Amino acid sequence: MKSYKEVLEEASKYLIDNDIDEAKIDAWYLFNHVFNVDRAEYFLNINRTISLEQYKDYMDLIKKRAAHIPLQYIIGYTEFMGLKIKVNKNVLIPRHDTEVLVEEVLKVCDNKDVLDMCTGSGCIIISLKKLGKISKAIGVDISKEALLLAKENASINDVDVEFVESDLFDRIEGKYDIIVSNPPYIPEGDINDLSIEVRDHEPLLALDGKEDGLFFYRKIIKEAKKYLNPGGYVFFEIGYNQADDLLVLFKAEGIEDVEIIQDLAGLDRVVKARI
């Protein structure tokens, strides 16, 4: 029989030995997930022993993490904008960087109809519907599996969002006040340079921005005017080095009211354009 302290130390060492970044933090999150123990309770009961079955359950998850399976896929959810978002191998794991995108849309979305292109887990449109005052909320994705999870996330967070299976605008009708998107934007040649967690476990469909990483931006920008009301907005999350390219793409469509917004690290993260 091992104590809380012994088990957590063993798990941390196992992850360190397998080159897992933030090994101690991940060991703790998995400990919390399995034993449902917060930090205060852990320290109050640091010598409490666990059963062999509990030990096996915990170490099975630790071994998955040691194999570089992302922590969020192991526990099945993550937090985004303070909301619980379920994730699996069919959707990109929501990043805190993307919260910058949501925060910018929240500034202008009151009583607006919003279309979220490449919705994935639905984290963006669900957050906007939950935290903002938007009228109609539509999430679009080409992946049937992603949309099934997005619908589940909408239900968990008690919001009314319509989800549409479509290859970008192919099956979209009507006009909107805001189009928001965090599309695949990793250049094809950079995929192999991503971390093992991302490269080998997150869906390629949600990462691959084709040859130069701009494929989906081009298509969305070119079509946006057909689906936006006058004065409508387009919001994109972008890679840190893509702002200049996006300015060129918008200018080519005659759109010059464009703003670049940085994240907390001072990196270009969001493009906001008004039609």
Say whether 246 sits in a helix, a strand or coil.
Answer: helix
Say whether 69 sits in a helix, a strand or coil.
Answer: coil
With DSSP H G I counted as helix, E B as strand and the rest as coil, what are the percentages for the chain, rounded to 5?
45, 20, 35
First to last CA, the chain: 65
Range 77-274 classified under CATH 3.40.50.150: yes
- pLDDT tens for the chain, 275 residues long, are 899 999 999 999 999 999 999 999 999 999 999 999 999 999 999 999 999 999 999 999 999 999 999 999 999 999 999 999 999 999 999 999 999 999 999 999 999 999 999 999 999 999 999 999 999 999 999 999 999 999 999 999 999 999 999 999 999 999 999 999 999 999 998 999 989 999 999 999 999 899 899 999 999 999 999 999 999 999 999 999 999 999 999 999 999 999 999 999 999 999 999 98
Kindly list the distances between the CA atom of residue 42 and the CA atoms of 13, 78, 88, 107, 173, in Å, as whole numbers in the listed order: 18, 22, 29, 41, 53
Count other C-beta atoms under 10 Å from residue 11's C-beta. Answer: 25
Instruction: Give the C-alpha separation, 239 to 262, whole Å.
Output: 11
Q: What is the residue extent of each domain of the chain? A: 2-67, 77-274
pTM given for the model: 0.94
